[in-house]
Structure formats: C-alpha cells, structure tokens
C-alpha cells in the first residue's frame, strides 16, 4: 500500500512537531500524530514533551484511552519508525501501539542503528498492522536530527 496525499500531509505535521523537541545527544527528535479515518487529529506528541524520556508516539498515545473506539480506524503518523527496544522505559512504542487497535502506521525514516537495532516496522507488520514508509520525506527527519548524525 502506498501513502496518500492526506497521509503525506499528516506525516509532514508529525515532522514539524519534531522541531519542538529539546535536542538530546542520546535520543532522536520525533513527532507523532494520531488521526481518525476522516483525518481529524485525535492527539499529537513529540519526544521529551513532558518528560526527558518521552517518545513521540508514547506522548500522543497517552492522551487517548487505549480502547478509544476511534482508534479502530485511526492512523498513527511518526516521523521516525516506532522503536522496538528502548533503555529509558520498559515498553517500546511498538508495544504501546500494539496495545491499541490502531490498524495503520505511517512513518518517514527507518531508525538508524545509532542507539538500538530497531525492528518496529517488521514487528508491527508481523502483528497484522499496515505499515507504510514514506522515504521521500526522510530527509526532513534527518535534518531535524542532524545533531546526532554528525558524530
């Protein structure tokens, strides 16, 4: 499945949210948007939004009940592939997503192996979720995270 124009617009919004992240030498700056089937934004989040250990998807998901009926047809947009392993908290963003009925995940950039070997996209696909990568927007995410890539 390919990304639609509305997918790209929501993903750009997630990428813009990443600009609000306080920079960290040990974590990516990521933005996330959760939208319903009609494109109405249900929640947003960005890395380190309320706590230095917050991940974007985690921050957005925390604003909704995991059993919110709107999530059954929602899409989670993340500037970076959802993490499958993390050091700062016990549950990865992939696990948090799988604890909801969200059927679609759209992201721009696969997480590079600077900190962990991420398998979020593969795990979500294996669990039956539709995962769409939009690599033509990855350069925007790399730009936001240039402070990590110049090491």
The per-residue pLDDT for range 24-82, each reduced to its tens digit, is 888 889 999 999 999 999 999 999 999 999 999 999 999 999 889 999 999 999 999 99
Task: Give the separation between CA 32 and CA 26, rounded to whole angstroms.
Answer: 19
Q: Which CATH class is domain 5-149?
A: alpha beta
Q: Tell me the pLDDT band of 113, cut-offs 50, 70 and 90.
A: low
Assess contact for 55 and 86: CB atoms under 8 A.
yes
Please name the residue that has the structure tokens 């016990």: 90
Average pLDDT (104-130) is 83
Catalytic residues: 57
* pLDDT at residue 115 tops 70: no
Domain ranges of the chain: 5-149
* pLDDT at residue 119 tops 90: no
pLDDT of residue 114: 55
Helices and strands (DSSP H and E) totals, the chain: 6, 5
Q: Tell me the pLDDT band of 97, cut-offs 50, 70 and 90.
A: very high
Task: Give the separation between CA 84 and CA 91, rounded to whole angstroms.
Answer: 9
């Amino acid at each position: 499945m390919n990304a639609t124009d509305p997918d790209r617009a929501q993903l750009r919004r997630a990428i813009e949210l990443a600009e609000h992240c306080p920079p960290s030498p040990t974590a990516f700056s990521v933005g996330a948007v959760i939208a319903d089937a009609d494109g109405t934004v249900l929640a947003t989040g960005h890395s380190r939004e309320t706590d230095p250990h917050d991940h974007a998807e985690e921050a957005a998901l925390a604003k909704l009940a995991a059993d919110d009926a709107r999530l059954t047809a929602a899409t989670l947009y993340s500037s970076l592939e959802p993490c499958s392993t993390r050091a700062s908290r016990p549950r990865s963003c992939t696990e948090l997503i799988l604890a909801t009925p969200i059927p679609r995940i759209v992201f721009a950039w696969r997480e590079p192996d600077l900190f962990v070997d991420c398998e979020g996209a593969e795990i979500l696909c294996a669990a039956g979720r539709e995962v769409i990568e939009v690599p033509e927007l990855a350069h925007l995410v790399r730009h936001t995270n240039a402070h990590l890539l110049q090491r």
